[in-house]
Structure 1
Amino acid sequence: MGGIPLSGEFGERARDILAGRVKPVPARDAATVVLLREGVEVYLLRRKASMAFAAGAYVFPGGSVDPRDADHAIAWAGPSPAEWGAVFRADERIARALVCAAVRETFEESGVLLAGTSPESVVADTTGDAWEADRLALIDRSLSFADFLDRRGLVLRADLLRPWAHWITPEIEHRRFDTRFFVAALPPGQRTRDVGGEADQVVWVRPADAIDQSKNGQIFLMPPTHRTLGELCDHQTVAGVLGTEREIVTFMPEIVEMDGEIYIVLDDDYRFGSA
């Protein structure tokens, strides 16, 4: 069994959780989008060192669900919330919120918007002061995603997303997320940009190169990101990624005690929810 030994504060917290003295923090629903362009390259952001969660890690765009993401007023094209719920084993309300959060967070963190003026179109350009003002208003939650789309006459393109994975933060963490992973292609005409916020650096990189950089200590990847990049190495085209049929299973790193030592298990022994 592979794993990482836990000591200090995390080790003590793990022992308390295993003994039932401390209850794990509930995991918040979240969505992450693996944004792809031909190559195959992925868009990664480096989280600022000051962030409370995953500081310094290179991650895909994503974040927590805003309760307003479940708003039924959002114009929608593509698979229904019920269909997404069946894929991710979530109820319809949560599934709707997850898809909306995926599209909203991608726009907030990369400037890429998976929406169009009709169910068949995608906005070609999201640069300019007006778009930036809306992006910042979404980030500070003074503007809801539903109101943003409605004001601009846009339809959310759920059909541009594909399901990829489901990860839950380990129980020892003080901030935990129940995260569904999506993949999507960079829409024609749109381009990502360094939008700041929670990230201090962005990069387009081939999955294999990102893994090599992680092995060499050049970048830090969390296990879900590392595993996803490894899975993408098998594909030569973006269409190949989007056409992959995925069985969505739930992964959560597990706390175990072996020979008096506490470990967090980071191999296939921590697969849950596959039934």
Structure 2
Amino acid sequence: MICGGESAVPHRQAPTGYDQARLSTTVILVRNSAQGLQVWAQERVSTMRNYPGMTVFPGGGVDRRDLPSGQGDTAAMWTGQPVEEFAARLGLTPEQTHAVVFAAVRELFEETGTLLAVHEDGSEIADVTPYHQDRVDLISHRISLTEMLMEHDLRVCTDGLRPWARWVGGWKDLHWFDTISFVAVAPEGQSPDGDTSEADDAGWFSPQLLLDGWRHGLVRLAIPTWAQLSFLARFPTADEAMAAADAADLSPVVGDPVDDPRYAEYFTTSWVDRIRPTR
């Protein structure tokens, strides 16, 4: 969901990224299956302002709620790989990094009910049911993720979250976004539910199935999603995808890379939309 919040730090603006583009994030949730690696993807409703009807990963814009609660608190409510190491990997400040990671965790929880967090003692969350009202309150901007974590003695856990790609661009003539994508392994005992007003449909798919659907005009993909699926399709397991993320090139891809041979298929394919409109 791309929007601004009023909670947590109302006196500060949402952070910006490359060339003052608004920071945003997507989370590529992966799991192992009998058919190989699968990703959680959702088809956006046709009324969305950005990328209507497209198949996407959960995500959205970074807003003020995602900033640290105070100066010098970038590591607050955070466990796993230190924020400074994350910042160096992303080429961002610790404050920007905190905001991007918290936005990723928040958006994933809002859109799928999957919570990348642990209890204060480090134990895993086996059941997210007790946090249903918090999910509702996050969606309606009544609380921030930091406030939710503090209320329940939870910490964002970055152990299963890896930076994957960085794309800078926009939908038609609308605002540009500096979008940082993460890959994350679905936590043990949690199942995404797709209970979001932003999507008509959602589920687990192999990357290759989505790419084949695109080639046949049955799946709408923007170039960043297509590129990420193409890369993911090389890996048969979640562990291999996570290992690849550690070496992934995070240089920003700016605009439409029509001259980059890695994306030639996307830009040279005469794509025909064969998706029947729903009544």
Asked whether 1:217 is paired with 2:217, we answer: yes
Question: Aligned pair in 2 of structure 1 residues 43, 267: CA closer, same or farther (>3 Å)?
Answer: farther
- Seq. identity, %: 34
Asked whether 1:227 is paired with 2:227, we answer: yes
Q: 1:30 aligns with which of 12, 24, 30?
A: 24
**Equivalent-residue separation in structure 2 for 1:199 and 1:36 (angstroms):** 18
Question: Aligned pair in 2 of structure 1 residues 269, 236: CA closer, same or farther (>3 Å)?
Answer: closer
How many residue pairs are counted as aligned between the two chains? 235
Cα pair 1:168 1:177 within 8 Å, conserved: yes
Q: How many angstroms does 1:184 deviate by?
A: 0.4
**Equivalent-residue separation in structure 1 for 2:25 and 2:135 (angstroms):** 18
Question: Hey, what does 1:9 align to over in structure 2?
Answer: none
Asked whether 1:61 is paired with 2:58, we answer: yes
Amino acid at match of 1:76: W
CA-to-partner distance for each residue in 1:204-245, whole Å, 9 max, x for gaps? Answer: 100001000011111101100000000001101100111122
4+ residue segments displaced more than 3 Å? none
**1:115-264, aligned counterparts within 5 Å?**
115-118=117-120, 120-127=122-129, 130-170=130-170, 173-244=173-244, 245-254=247-256
- SS of the counterpart of 1:34? strand
Question: Aligned pair in 2 of structure 1 residues 144, 197: CA closer, same or farther (>3 Å)?
Answer: same
Question: Hey, what does 1:88 align to over in structure 2?
Answer: 90
Cα pair 1:251 1:270 within 8 Å, conserved: no
Question: Aligned pair in 2 of structure 1 residues 194, 111: CA closer, same or farther (>3 Å)?
Answer: same
CA-to-partner distance for each residue in 1:54-101, whole Å, 9 max, x for gaps? Answer: 000011011111212122384111122221111111111101101111
Highest CA radius of gyration, 1 or 2?
Answer: 1
What TM-score do the two structures reach when normalised by structure 1?
A: 0.80
Q: How many angstroms does 1:118 deviate by?
A: 3.5
Amino acid at match of 1:135: R
Question: Hey, what does 2:40 align to over in structure 1?
Answer: 43
Q: How many angstroms does 1:119 deviate by?
A: 6.0
Q: 1:52 aligns with which of 49, 54, 72?
A: 49
Question: Aligned pair in 2 of structure 1 residues 209, 123: CA closer, same or farther (>3 Å)?
Answer: same
Question: Aligned pair in 2 of structure 1 residues 252, 78: CA closer, same or farther (>3 Å)?
Answer: same
Question: Aligned pair in 2 of structure 1 residues 119, 82: CA closer, same or farther (>3 Å)?
Answer: farther
Cα pair 1:74 1:156 within 8 Å, conserved: no
**Equivalent-residue separation in structure 2 for 1:103 and 1:153 (angstroms):** 16
The two structures, once aligned, show a CA RMSD in angstroms of 2.0
Cα pair 1:70 1:96 within 8 Å, conserved: yes
- SS of the counterpart of 2:159? helix
Gaps of 5+ in 2: 1-18, 264-279
Amino acid at match of 1:133: Q
